[in-house]
Structure 1
Amino acid sequence: MACALLLSGCAGAESGDASAGVTILRPSEREVLHGVEGKSLDGAPVDLDSYRGKVVVVNWWGSWCAPCRKEAPVFARVSDEAPSDVAFIGLLARDSPAAARAFNERFGVRYPTLVDRDSRLALRFSQVLPVQAVPGTWVLDTRGRLAARIASAEVTPTLLRDVVDEVRGS
């Protein structure tokens, strides 16, 4: 059942408050996610444990998802402008690597995308902070703990930067 909810179609942005759908956990509520690793679109190994010391933004997306196409330029821009202690990782949902590479090229996404064909990795995140559909975004703090989630919100540069800054400051 949880898997069916998690793997349902694209989520649309909610109208109204742009911060609707944003959850930030207090440091005492955060859990470390170990074993989030795999191969990127180019076959390189990606292990989130290697990003300790940085705030990591993980965006779950697919090239077939209309809201993902809308928010991709936001993630590309904010990741390009991010300070050196912030990293971005894509998490590919039910998509072919070829389609994902074309999507990243089209939207200027330069950070690595982790292939998650069976959504096993996305389920790890959703066990702590559920996201019921693609797209979804999680933010890990510098200790590798899941600190925030953006789901069902229209992701703007300001919203994304604000969530990252909140996690960086905690």
Structure 2
Amino acid sequence: MSLKPICDLNVAKRYIAQAVPLGEDPCQFNAIWAAPGQVPNFVYEGDDPEVFSTADDAEAKARKVLFEALNARRPARQAYVPNQPGLRRAVKFLKMTGEEFAVAQAAADLTDAEIAFAWGTTPDRVVRWKSGADAVPFAMHWVLPLLKDEKNYEFVLDVAEQKTVDK
């Protein structure tokens, strides 16, 4: 099963596992699934959305795929973006591994707390990025090298400080 979004920017607000009629044919269905915050995805068989002969079969497969996605530890080295005007196909972004992130962090000479504050997250999340438990945000490919420069680092800290309030 591959992850290929089926729409632009329509992010799920709840868990979705449902059958979708395929055109006018009442005997063919696709299955879609998503967790909150994700763009809904078809259930794929190879490169094409899988076609089911009953709505029950499609919904059951969508539930299975959603269940597997929720219970899998994602290596998450790639992300798909929807087709946009001007793009002929979806593209794949290669995300950093935890090890690559740790090397880039050391090269930038930044602590977990400094990265967390600048990124607007917690030091625990940064540790999870390094361990591979959570996916490293794609932007870290360019954020960490930029933060090596003292001027950029100070700018980011100023912005973060202005946009932070005490609990």
TM-based fold match above 0.5: no
Q: Which has the larger radius of gyration?
A: 2
Question: So what's the TM-score if we normalise by structure 2?
Answer: 0.28
